[in-house]
Amino acid sequence: MQALIYQGPEKLTYEHTENPSLQPNEVLVRVESVGICGSELEGYLGHSSIRIPPLVMGHEFCGRVAAMGDQVHGLSLEDKVIVNPLIACRTCANCLSGKINICRNRQIIGIHRPGAFAEYVAVPCENAFRVPQEMDASLASLAEPLAVAIHAVKLGLQPLNDLLIYGAGPIGLLCLLAAKQMGAGRIVVVDLQSARLEHAERLGAIGRSPGQLEDRSEELFPQGITTIIDCVGVQATREQAMRLADPGSTIVMVGLGHDKSALPINHLVRQEISFIGSYTYSHEDFRQAIALLQQGAIDIQGWSESRGLADGPAAFQELAEGKSSVCKIFLKP
C-alpha cells in the first residue's frame, strides 16, 4: 500500500509499505478520507515528544471494512465506519470511572501505532462505528475532532452564557459549532489570520484579532468574560485569557502550542479562576459527535477541502506556514 510517513521535522515521504497485519479482534479499514490535525502539524514541525519517526500519522478518518479478524462480530465487509483512535485499556481505575481519555495505559492510532495517512489501517473492532453508506467520508472524519470540541465545551460552558474562543482553526470552529448546539449566547473567536476569522463569522461568531479583543473586551462582553476556551495554547493566548477573565471564570485549555508558559498564578488564586485541561473525549462525547454529524448539524462548507494523499507533504507545509485559505484539509488515498 501507499502511505505518508513522518521521517522527522518537516519531512514527510510518500512511499510504498507493507499492508498492516490483523489481530483476531481487529478490522482492516480501507481509508476514504483522513483529516490533518493541528497536533499532527506540531508533530510535523518536531514539537511533539510523543510522535516518534518513522511514523504513519493520521487519527481522524473514515473508511470501509476491507478485512476482519476471526474474533470480530457486529461488522461486515464494506461497512462504512468512523474510527475512534483512542484505545483505552478499560481496566484501570480511570477507565472504570468512565474517564477513558485519561486511561493510564491509553494508545492512540497514529501516535503509538500506525495511523490512517495510508491506504489501509488496522484498528480494534470495538473502536469502529458503522455509519450510513451515503455519509460523506470527509464529514464523517470530523467525529474525532468534534468529540474533542464537545468535551472542551462541556467542561466550561453553561447554557446561555457568552463564550470566548482562542483559535479559528478546526478545533476552534468545531468548539464554536458545538457551543451553538449547547445553547451558548454570544461567541467571540480570536485569531491572527483574517481568512480564518471570516470562516468563524460565517458560522455565527464575532471574529476579532487579539488587539481588537483587548481594546473592546467590555463592549464585546458587557456582562464580563466568564468562559474561555483556548484552542491555541501559547504564551500570548494563555496570558491574555488570564488577564481578561472575570473573577470566578473558567478557562479551558485545549491547545498544546507551548509546553510551558509563565502565568500570574497568584492572580488566578485571588480571582478564583478555574484553569482546566481538556484532553480528547469520553465515549459519550464521541457518540454525540457522530449523532451531530449524522443530523447535518455541522457545516464544513467553505472552511475545508480535500486533496490526494500524495499531496500530503505540500498540504502539511502549507498549513504549517499559515498559507492555506482553508482551516481543514482532508487527504484521500
Which pLDDT tens digit goes with each residue over 159-175?
A: 999 999 999 999 999 99
In the predicted structure, residue 47 carries a pLDDT above the cut 90: no
Residues in the chain: 333
Task: Return the half-sphere exposure (C-beta side, CA atoms, 13 A cut-off) of residue 329.
Answer: 24
Model confidence, pTM: 0.95
Q: What is the pLDDT of residue 162?
A: 97
Instruction: Find cell 455541522 and name the residue.
Output: 298
pLDDT band at residue 191 using 50, 70 and 90 as cut-offs: very high
Identify the CA nearest to 309 among candidates 32, 10, 18, 25.
32
Encoded amino acid at 156, one letter: G
What is the set of domains in the chain, with CATH numbers? 2-142+300-332 (3.90.180.10), 149-277 (3.40.50.720)
Helix axes 170-181, 194-202, angle to 10 degrees: 20
Joined together, the cell numbers standing for residue 262 give 509563565
In the predicted structure, residue 322 carries a pLDDT above the cut 90: no
Residue 296 CB partners (closer than 8 Å, separation 6+): none
In the predicted structure, residue 72 carries a pLDDT above the cut 90: yes
Q: What is the pLDDT of residue 153?
A: 98
Q: What are phi and psi of 228, to 5 degrees?
A: -130, 135
In the predicted structure, residue 229 carries a pLDDT above the cut 90: yes
Would you say 165 and 152 are in contact if contact means Cβ atoms under 8 Å apart?
no
Rounded Cα distance, 63 and 11, in Å? 26
Joined together, the cell numbers standing for residue 245 give 477573565
Q: What is the pLDDT of residue 257?
A: 87
Average pLDDT, the chain: 95
Segment (H or E) for 13: strand 11-16
Q: What is the average per-residue pLDDT within 299-313?
A: 95
Joined together, the cell numbers standing for residue 52 give 516518534
Phi-psi domain of 135 (left: phi exceeds 0; alpha: psi -120 through 50; beta: other) = beta
Q: What is the pLDDT of residue 298?
A: 94
Per the omega criterion (within 30 degrees of 0), is the bond before 54 cis? yes
